[in-house]
Chain A
Amino acid sequence: MIAIVGKLIARRLITAVPILLAVSALLFCVLRALPVDPAAMSLPPTATVEEIEAKRHEMGLDRPLPEQYVIWLTDALHGDFGRSIQFRRDSGSLVATTLPATIQLAASAMVIAAILGIGGGLLMFRVRGTLLEPVTDMVSILLLSIPEFLWGLILLFVFGVALHLLPFTGQVSPELPAPRITGFLLLDSLLAGRVDIFLSACQHLILPAVALGLAFSPTIMRVLRSSLFDVYHEDYIQQARLRGLSEGHILIKHAFKNASLPTLTLAGVQFGILFSGTLLVEVIYSYPGMGNLMVDAVRNADLPLIQTIGLTYCIVVLVINTFVDSLYVVLNPKLRVR
């Protein structure tokens, strides 16, 4: 199995190269097509036309677009993703600083979405044909119709303001000095042996993660339920019933296992979407992640930073897809035979 997974990862790595090249070229062209002048934006408003022209030349913006792309690509391959116009710092280092917080948030949100989605899907299937079915249907539709930023605001006002149960700004309480080892605060606090920081970080993570999780759980719920409907038409379910197994046992031990594969595929796709959903949630919760940075970059037409963040999103999605496909191989014996 390890060999098959290894081959899959190797294959994915090879295909990732042209994908990344295509995405980076597309991003580059689209950003250059915007009616924004990076040279003028990177200088103060009082800069003269001559200074802007000199800057344009320095940035290589007076060269043909393909040449500009080759320059950018060469620099990027050497780890230089360009200087952020707004922060006047290397875009790569800005992304590297903020990415761990976003991964941590997105991963926590995915866990919550998976728990709610799988739990809800099983419940929805279990109550099929009963008076509770329309109720669960309605709840899932309600969850589906509320976007993540609205959940963010609702949770903030309910649990942060009205009930005063949870904090809603930043990653950790300001009284606690955040250790910086890997950039993943939950992990870093444990590595530093600081349970108080770990608990504080968990508290700060709950609302944004639940806001994202709630927005993405209903899709999982509904796909799982429909997969379970399909699976229940299979012969082995009837045979299990004839063997006298309980409905609960059949659902969890037999049906769920098989119905979970399409759900897993969907979860992989959802993670990519969820990752980009962090943008507004991070702004609402002052969460120091890449989404927050992206909002800043877009607002200030910071093209080098937008390009770097866009490419990072692409890499994250590729990694997640590879991970999900590997998991698929682990969970589905049929794929291991080939």
Chain B
Amino acid sequence: MALKLPRRSVLQTGAAFMAGSCAVPFTRALAAGKDTVTIGWPNDVGSWDPNQRFTPDAQAIFKAVFDQPLDQDPQLKLIPHLIKNWSLAPDALSMAVELRDDVTFHNGDKMTTEDFRYTFFERPKSGLKLDTANSWRKVQDIVVESPTKATMKFASPAPTAPQWLAFLGSFMVPKKYIESGGLENFLKKPSGTGPYKLAEYELNSRIVLERNDKYWGPKAKIPRVTIEIIKDPSARVAAIQSGAVDWTVNVPVREVQRFKDSGFAAALEPITRVILLQVRNDLAFADKNVRLAAHHAIDKAALSKAFYGGAAVPLSVPATPGTPGYMPDYTFSYDPELAKQYLAKSNFSPSNPVKIGFAATNGQFPSDYDIARAIVQMWKRVGIEANLQVIEYAKYFELNRAVKLPETTLYSWDNATGDPELYSGYLLNPKMPFSAWKGEEVGQKVLKLLNVAEYDARIAGYRELNRFAVEDGATIPLLQSVLTVVHKKNLTYTKYANGWMLAQTLQWS
């Protein structure tokens, strides 16, 4: 017997369903109350193992669920967190730490120095292929003296060990929970000591956090935080515009003023990310005159005005204002005439230009490709003809390792700690894959500084290195990067100089 459906009824039911579906209140936007907040965020965490990968964009999310041994205040000063006291030995070969004794993981386990040892020694050495295995490779052992006291032992001086305890991947994880339940269970139900617990997670779509009411520190003001992973900048604009999210970042720079005019709080926040030209010390750039000419020919203020509304500070050294390596009194001038003179010394001129290769990403950071095109034009005026090519950010390291980068590459470098080792110490270290510069003199200076334990001497050394590297043409710093932030006016948050946007600091007014 054939099943006969009355056609009219089917159509009517279908139409009613569609209409009803639309008529059901669009709950998310209408439900925004003081107890919830929705954030539009451009990237997912990838994995809920916070030690696994160094992803700067995920650090703010990890900081909601996990705690770091040390923290930074909004001005980036290192402050106690899970670690109450720390003392780096004068030779930087060991560091004694004292943990808080009132911290519990979300699963109820009490945090002790066993967890500390597990996170920073046992796990990195276990062959799990964690990125922290690299950052903590100098750790020889962590000697546990009591549930709250331990000493980190380093194979070679580790002067930035305290900074690294507040940096990428350094999040405390629960030893017992992972060992007894397995890693897969931990990835599904991560247990940290942070101010929020993970309530729900959908890959590439949504993270829902619920307040940890047993948190050892100041409780988060908003009980429930939803993080919508919205990768497309236009979709983020639409989401904040429509009220689907209350707060978002990385919208196009040109949208910031429009949002301000339409009743939102919007800002271009300078952060500790530098935009610079990574430079090779061979090919056409073997000639110092060409390198210095390339630097003098760039009008950084014009770039800032054109692409960042003037909010990005022009830089003369690879460090941002307010960080220890920054040199406020030092300026590398924009001087096209001087650039022409340098080129003339090497028999180049606008009619006989020096030809160089120039690589840039397109879409890795705001206006990157446009900045590169503008620089090409600036160079053309003084006698440098650059062949611009687009590369993927992920390929930078590989091309650099294979010595296949062109003379210069537009690059952005994030350093949430603000420490100069993590600027010039990495960017100019010829042994690291970040540095395109392989010159011996700069390299020797960097390697020497990596072993300087005394803080003031270390900072003075890096300032001197910065000046030397810039005047040698080993680096061409351009701008301090900016972060675009848009949010509802009655939503406030703590601004961090490194651009961290922490859910636990959000508050409705």
Contacts and interface: CB of A to CB of B under 8 A. Distances in A.
B27 A283 contact: no
B21 A167 contact: no
A317 to B, nearest CB: 23
Interface of B: 17-18, 20-22, 24, 26-29, 31, 38, 40, 44, 46-47, 49, 52-54, 129, 131, 134-135, 187, 200, 202-206, 208, 226, 228-232, 234-235, 238-239, 241-245, 392, 394-395, 397-398, 401, 432-434
A177 B200 contact: yes
A277 to B, nearest CB: 15
Contacts of A160: 238, 242, 244
B226 to A, nearest CB: 4
A300 B46 CA distance: 12
A64 B18 CA distance: 56
25 contacts: A36-B398, A42-B129, A44-B53, A45-B434, A46-B134, A49-B401, A87-B47, A88-B52, A88-B53, A89-B47, A161-B241, A166-B26, A168-B238, A168-B239, A168-B242, A173-B27, A200-B24, A203-B22, A203-B26, A284-B232, A284-B234, A286-B204, A286-B228, A292-B231, A296-B44
A182 B503 CA distance: 32
Contact of B229 (A165, A177, A286): A286
Nearest to A202: B21
A36 B401 CA distance: 12
Nearest to A89: B47
Contacts of B29: 164, 167
A44 B131 contact: yes
A288 interface: yes
A288 B134 contact: no
A103 B208 CA distance: 25
Contacts of A43: 129, 134
Contacts of B38: 174
Interface in A114-144: none
A175 interface: yes
B395 A301 contact: yes
A287 interface: yes
A185 B374 CA distance: 48
A188 to B, nearest CB: 13
Interface in A196-214: 199-200, 202-203, 206
A-B pairs, 4 with minimum CB distance: A288-B205, A174-B226, A44-B131, A161-B242
Most A C-beta atoms less than 10 A away, residue of B20, B38, B392:
B392
Nearest to A301: B394
Nearest to A39: B398
Given A168-B244, A169-B239, 19 more contacts: A44-B135, A46-B135, A46-B432, A46-B433, A47-B433, A87-B47, A98-B203, A160-B242, A165-B22, A168-B242, A169-B205, A170-B202, A178-B202, A203-B22, A203-B26, A206-B21, A292-B204, A293-B203, A301-B392
A36 B203 CA distance: 25
A89 to B, nearest CB: 7
A167 B395 CA distance: 36
Nearest to A201: B21
B398 A37 contact: yes
Contacts of B135: 44, 46
Contacts of A288: 202-206
Chain A binding surface, main DSSP class:
loop
A315 interface: no
Interface of A: 35-37, 40-47, 49, 52, 86-89, 94, 97-98, 153, 156-157, 160-161, 164-171, 173-175, 177-178, 199-200, 202-203, 206, 283-288, 292-293, 295-296, 299-301
A167 B26 contact: yes
Contact of B203 (A35, A49, A52, A94): A94
Nearest to A149: B232
A88 B47 contact: yes
Contact of B228 (A165, A169, A299): A169
B204 A44 contact: no
A41 B392 CA distance: 12
A283 B26 CA distance: 21
Given A199-B21, A301-B395, A286 B46 contact: no
A289 B197 CA distance: 25
Contacts of B18: 206
A173 B433 CA distance: 43
B202 A171 contact: yes
Contact of A40 (B208, B229, B241, B397): B397
A180 B136 CA distance: 38
A153 B237 CA distance: 11
A300 B203 CA distance: 16
Contact of B28 (A49, A153, A167): A167
A161 B200 CA distance: 26
B395 A287 contact: no
A325 to B, nearest CB: 24
Interface centre among B54, B241, B397 (most CB of A within 10 A): B397
B27 A40 contact: no
Contact of A200 (B27, B54, B239, B395): B27
A173 B238 contact: no
Contacts of B21: 199, 202-203, 206
B244 A203 contact: no
Contacts of A170: 202, 205-206, 228
A87 B229 CA distance: 16
Given A206-B21, A296-B204, A286 B235 contact: yes
Contacts of B232: 283-284
Contact of B31 (A44, A153, A175, A300): A175
A97 B135 CA distance: 32
Contacts of A169: 40, 205-206, 228, 230, 235, 239, 244-245
A36 B24 contact: no
Contacts of B234: 153, 284
